[in-house]
Structure 1
Amino acid sequence: MVIPVETYLVTAVESLEYELLKSSLARSSVVGLDAEWKPWSREDDGDEGTAKSSAALRSFPTVTLLQIACREATDPAGRGTRVFLVDLLALELAEFWGTLRDVFESPHVLKLGFRFKQDLIYLSSTFAAQGCHPGFDKVEPFMDITSVYYYLKTGCTGDGKRPPKQSESLATICKQVLGVVLSKELQCSDWSIRPLTDEQKLYAAADAYYLLEIFDVFQCSFNHQDESLADSLEVYSSRVSSGLKDLFKAPVVCDNVLGIKFGRASDIVKSSGYALPSVPLSSESTSTPSLESTLPLDISLSGIVRKYGERILLQESERKPRTSKRKGRRQPSASWKSKDHLAMVSDWQGPPPWDSAGGGDECPRFLCDVMVEGLAKYLRCVGIDAAIPSVKKPEPRQLIEQAHKEKRVILTRDAKLLKHQYLIGNQVYKLKSLIKNDQLLEVIETFQLKISEEQLMSRCSKCNGRFIQKPLSIEEAVAASKGFQVIPNCLFKRDLEFWQCMDCGQLYWEGTQYQNAVQRFTNVCKLTD
C-alpha cells in the first residue's frame, strides 16, 4: 500500500532541495516536525573533532536529522504535501538557523509535533554548539499530537481540561485514528551513520507525515463538532488521496504500510514554475530568510489556534544538562570500563546447553529478556523454541534461574547481564543488531541453526507451544473455538485446514496472513537461495 508523498533529502543550502524547502514553508500553514539524534557517550570525547566542540554539544544528544512535513495552504486535499529530511550532519547549520527560527516563531505557521519539547532542547543544543547562539527558545503556535488525540477522544470539546501528561505512543495513535500500522523498529538505529538506508528514510518521513494526517482528522472533527468521530473520518477520507481512502477499507496485514515516492527537486521546480537563482546563493541571502510571504491562517486554523494553540518556551535551566543528585556514586570496576573486554564477553563463547557433547538434546532453546521480547515471536515463527521471562519485571538472577532450569541461552541487549555469565557459564548472548529481522539472522548465524521451510509457522507465536499433529476440520475447529475464539464467517466458504496449539488452545489457519508470514520468513532466512 502506497501513500504518494514527495520526499527530499536536503544536504546543502546551495541546492534545489533547500530552495524547494523554503518555498514549501512559505506556502504552508501547517507543518509537522520531528527529529532523530545520536546519543552522546563518553567514548566520543576521544575524537579530536568532538573534543573541540562546545560543552553544549556533549551535554545533550546531537540531532542528526530533522524531518519537516509541509502541506500548502492552497491544497487542502493534501496532494501537495512534501516531506523534507534535513541532514544536519551535512548542512551548514549557521546557514539554516535563521530559516528554522523563522518557522518556529512565525504566527502564520501552525507547528505539529509529538512530544517535541525534548527535540527542541536537543536541537537548540546542537545549533548552539555550532555557534548559532542562543539556539532556539520558542515554538509558537504549536499543537502536540498527544493533545490532538485527547481532544479527538473527548469530541473536540476539551471542557477546559488540560490533556493528561501520560499518553499513547505515536504508533498507537496512528493505529487508532488512521488505521495505520506504524513500525518503530528503527527508532533506536544509529542516525549518525551515512548514507541513510531507504528503510531509515521511510521511517523518518512517516513520523512527520502522519502528524499532518492525524491533524486533518482533528480539523474535520473541529469543523463538524456536532458529528461523531466516524462521520468526521468519512469527511476526512473524502478529501485525501485514493491511496489513503483505500487504507480505511482494507485490513492491515503488514508492519509498515508507508511507501515513499522519492522525488527530484529539479522536476518539481520545472513543473511548478518556481523561480530559483541560477547562481550559488550567498550566505547573506540564506542566513536569515523570512517567512513574511506566508499566507495568514484561514478561519478554521485560526479558530483551532485560538482554542487549542500552545507554545513551547524553553527556560534557561532547561538548556543545561541536569546533574545527578546522588553523591558518592559507585564507579564500575575497571574491567567493565574496557570496550575490548565488553566486546570479548559479548561474543558467543559456546557450546550451548543443548549441545550433545554436554548431554543436550540438540534442540535449541532461547530466553528473550524484556529488551528483545519481540524477537521471541520471530524465532517461534521459524520453529525455534523461544520463551520470555516468567515474571513481568525479572531480576537478573530470576532470568538466570529460568535459563538454567530450562537449559536456555538468554538473548539480551543489556550489557549488564554479561557480568552474570559466571553463574551459568556460556548462557548469555548480547545481540548486536537493533532490527528484529537482523536479530533473527544474527541468532541463526551465531548458533548455526538449521531452518527449513517445514519449520516455518510450526509453533504458536502467542505462547511458544507446539501444534497438534493432525489438522482440524472446520467442524472440529468450530467446536474447539467455542467460548474462546471467533472464526470469521468468510472462512466457512473456503476449504481450509485449522491447527490448534496444544498449550494455549489458539487456533490458526492458512489464510492470507499465514501466507504473507511464510513468504516473509522465507525471504528473511534466505531459504530460496
Structure 2
Amino acid sequence: MDPKELKPLNIQFVSSTDSAEFSRLEWAMNRSSVVGLDAEWKPHRSQQSSYPFVSLLQIACRIDCTPSDVDGHGDGDEEVEDNDLLVFLLDLLAVPLPSIWELLRDMFVSPDILKLGFRFKQDLIYLSSTFHSQGCAPGFDRIEPFLDITSIYDHLQRKQPGRKLSKETKSLSTICEEVLGISLSKELQCSDWSHRPLTEEQKLYAAADAHCLLKIFSVFQGKIDKEGNSLHDTTPLHSPIAILGLKQIFEKPDVCVNVFSLKFGEASDMVRATAYFEIHQRNYSVVGSISKPSHRKTIPLDESLSKIVQKYGGKILLKDSDKKPRNSKKKGKKQSSVNLSCRERRVENSSDWQGPPPWDLSLGGDGCPKFLCDVMVEGLAKHLRCVGIDAAVPCLKKPEPRQLIDQAQKEKRVILTRDAKLLRHDYLIRNQVYRVKTLLKNDQLLEVIETFRLNISEDQLMSRCTKCNGRFIQKPLTTEEAIAAAKGFQVIPNCLFNKNLEFWQCTDCNQLYWEGTQYHNAVQKFIDVCKLNE
C-alpha cells in the first residue's frame, strides 16, 4: 500500500517549544531506546556556494513503554497497540533553533539511544550547517551509536541462502518493498519543503520515511534474536505489533488510523508524563528566552540492544572539510557567461510545449500520441496507460541520455521527465522532450492531457496493459479460455469462476485482467481525475 494514499493521520507537527507536541517530543526522547532520523530541505542547484537550509527534521521514536505507562495496569505482556512508535515532524523554519540545539545534540550522542538513518551523513552535514547559520556553533559533528539501514539490509540479504548480494546500492523504497512488503512513494521527495503550510500528503510522506526505519530495524532485531545473538530471557523492548511490517499494520482496521497518532488525549496520560519528568528530576535553567536542560537522563540500552550496537553499530563523524560546500570544478575550457545564459534560456523555453509532436501527421507520424517516461515519472506512465495512452518506459534500466533520446526518436515519442539536465543536451531534436512541472501523479496526468490536448473518453479507460503498455485482445475470453491461458502463468482466484466475468488478455505480455471491483474502482477514479462527467 502506498503510504500517501492513507487517510490523513494525526501526525505530531512540532512548530513551537511552548506546544504540547514539543512536550511530547521531550518525553518521547527520554523513553526511547531506538529512533529513526530523516530530514527534508528545498532542492537546490549543486553549484550553490552554501548548503541548503533544512526545513524539516523527522524523528521516529520507539518508546520503551510498560503497560503501566499507558493504562496504569497490566502484567507486562499486553499489547500497547502502536503507542510505542511515535513520529514527530520538527519544523525548523518555525522553532527557534537555539532552543532545541542542545536537545538534539544530546540525543545524537547519547549512548542510551540507537540512531537509525538511511545515508544520513549528507543530512547531518546540511543539518549542522543550518544550525550553525542560526548561531548554534559548532552545529553538530557526530552521531553515535548509529546504524545505517543499508547495513541492516545487507545483513538480511546474507542470511538468505543462495542469494547473491547486489553491488548496486538499494533505495529506501526498494528496501522497504523487499523487507516490509510495502512500497514507499517518492513523488514528494523533490517538493518545496520550505513552503508553509505543508500539505497533509507532505506530512504523511515525511513521517512514513522515518517510521519505516523503525519497522525495518524491528525485522532485523527479530532475525538476530532467532539466530541467538541476543540474551535469552530478556524483557521484550516493544509490543508484538511493533515487529509487524507496515503492510500488516495498514491492513488492520483498528490500527490503521492510529499508525502515527498519539494517545495523549486523556488527562491521565499527561499526568503520567509529567510524573515521569518529576521522577527523573528534569531541571531547567533559563538563559534569556531559551530554556536549556541542565542534565538529561535516559534509560540505558538493555543487553539485547547493547549487543547489536557492539556488533553492528557505527557512528557518523563530520570533518571540518565536510562543513564547507565544494564548488564543482570541471576540467576543460571555461564556458562564457553568454553560453551559459543561452543554455539556461533553452532549458526554460523547453519546459513550455510549442508543438507539433513527432506523431503529428504533418511530420509523417500516425496521429497516435506516444510518450516515453523516464525513471523520474514512471508512475505517470501507468496513469497514462490507464486512460488508454501509449506510454513506454526506457528499454534499458539506466539509460544514458543519448540512448533515451535515440529510443524516443526511433519510436516517434515525446520524452516526459522532471530532469532539467536532460533539456541541456545539444543533440536534442526540437519538441522531443517535455519537462513535467507537477509532482503528484494525478496532477501530472492532467498536465500532460492539457498540454498535448489529448482526447480522453470513458471507452479508452483501462484499454492498455498497465504492466507492459501492450494492447488487449479485442475479443474477451470465456472463463474456460482464461483458465487455459493462465495455466502455469497466472493464478485466477476460484471465487471469480461463478461470477460470469469477462476476461481480457494483453497481446504482448499475456497478462490476464477481469472486470472485478478493482477494475470498476479504477475506472471511476480516472473518470473523476480526467473530469469526464463534467
Q: TM-score range by the shorter chain?
A: 0.7 to 0.9
Q: Which residue matches 2:39?
A: 35
Cα distance, 1:394 vs. partner? 4.5
What is the SS of the residue equivalent to 2:152?
helix
Deviations 1:413-471, CA, capped at 9 Å, x for gaps? 23344456996433332211233222111101111222222211101122322111110
Distance in 2 (CA, whole Å) between partners of 1:407 and 1:329 is: 35
Q: Which residue matches 1:69?
A: 60
Counterpart check, 1:141 vs 2:135: no
Q: Which residue matches 1:271?
A: 269
Counterpart check, 1:430 vs 2:432: no
Counterpart check, 1:409 vs 2:414: yes
Equivalences for residues 65-144 of structure 1 within 5 A: 65-75=56-66, 77=80, 78-144=82-148
- Classify 1:261/1:81 alpha carbon distance in 2 versus 1 (closer, same or farther; 3 Å): closer
What is the SS of the residue equivalent to 1:433?
coil
Counterpart check, 1:222 vs 2:224: yes
Contact 1:408 1:427 in 2 (8 A): yes
What is the SS of the residue equivalent to 1:30?
strand
Contact 2:65 2:238 in 1 (8 A): no
Q: Which residue matches 1:387?
A: 392
Contact 2:57 2:89 in 1 (8 A): yes
Distance in 1 (CA, whole Å) between partners of 2:408 and 2:9 is: 47
Contact 2:285 2:294 in 1 (8 A): no
Q: Which residue matches 1:54?
A: none
Cα distance, 1:31 vs. partner? 1.3
Q: Which residue matches 2:352?
A: 347
Q: Which residue matches 2:528?
A: 523
Distance in 2 (CA, whole Å) between partners of 1:247 and 1:306 is: 31
Distance in 1 (CA, whole Å) between partners of 2:122 and 2:206 is: 17
2:131 is aligned with what amino acid?
A: F
What is the SS of the residue equivalent to 1:222?
helix
Equivalences for residues 119-518 of structure 1 within 5 A: 119-154=123-158, 167-225=169-227, 239-240=240-241, 247=248, 267=265, 271-273=269-271, 274-275=273-274, 282-283=286-287, 286-289=290-293, 292-324=296-328, 326-328=330-332, 330-331=334-335, 334=338, 336-337=340-341, 342-355=347-360, 361-418=366-423, 424-518=429-523
More off after superposition, 331-340 vs 70-79: 331-340
TM-score (norm 1): 0.81
2:467 is aligned with what amino acid?
A: K
What is the SS of the residue equivalent to 2:473?
coil
Contact 1:336 1:342 in 2 (8 A): no
Cα distance, 1:9 vs. partner? 0.9
Cα distance, 1:190 vs. partner? 1.7
What is the SS of the residue equivalent to 1:459?
coil
Deviations 1:186-213, CA, capped at 9 Å, x for gaps? 1222211111110010011011112122
1:103 is aligned with what amino acid?
A: M
1:20 is aligned with what amino acid?
A: R
2:154 is aligned with what amino acid?
A: Y
More off after superposition, 354-363 vs 312-321: 354-363
Contact 2:85 2:260 in 1 (8 A): no
1:15 to 10, 13, 19: 19
In structure 1, the gaps of 5 or more residues are 45-57, 157-162, 228-234, 252-256
What is the SS of the residue equivalent to 1:457?
coil
Distance in 2 (CA, whole Å) between partners of 1:176 and 1:291 is: 41
Cα distance, 1:242 vs. partner? 12
What is the SS of the residue equivalent to 1:143?
strand
What is the SS of the residue equivalent to 2:34?
strand
In structure 2, the gaps of 5 or more residues are 67-78, 230-235, 279-283
- Classify 1:19/1:284 alpha carbon distance in 2 versus 1 (closer, same or farther; 3 Å): farther
Deviations 1:204-250, CA, capped at 9 Å, x for gaps? 101111212222223333333259xxxxxxx9997117997982796
- Classify 1:396/1:317 alpha carbon distance in 2 versus 1 (closer, same or farther; 3 Å): closer
Q: Which residue matches 2:232?
A: none
Distance in 2 (CA, whole Å) between partners of 1:467 and 1:21 is: 53
Contact 2:503 2:513 in 1 (8 A): yes
- Classify 1:207/1:374 alpha carbon distance in 2 versus 1 (closer, same or farther; 3 Å): same
Deviations 1:123-168, CA, capped at 9 Å, x for gaps? 1121112221111111112222222233334459xxxxxx998543
Q: Which residue matches 1:47?
A: none
More off after superposition, 410-419 vs 328-337: 328-337
1:39 is aligned with what amino acid?
A: P
What is the SS of the residue equivalent to 1:337?
helix
More off after superposition, 323-332 vs 494-503: 323-332
Aligned length: 495
- Classify 1:41/1:323 alpha carbon distance in 2 versus 1 (closer, same or farther; 3 Å): closer
User: Identity across aligned pairs (percent)?
Assistant: 60
TM-score (norm 2): 0.81
Distance in 2 (CA, whole Å) between partners of 1:258 and 1:356 is: 52
Distance in 1 (CA, whole Å) between partners of 2:215 and 2:518 is: 27
What is the SS of the residue equivalent to 1:35?
strand
Distance in 2 (CA, whole Å) between partners of 1:155 and 1:376 is: 36
- Classify 1:221/1:389 alpha carbon distance in 2 versus 1 (closer, same or farther; 3 Å): closer
Cα distance, 1:306 vs. partner? 2.6
CA RMSD of superposed structures (Å): 3.7
Contact 1:26 1:294 in 2 (8 A): yes
What is the SS of the residue equivalent to 2:299?
coil
Deviations 1:340-371, CA, capped at 9 Å, x for gaps? 65433321112334445667654222222343
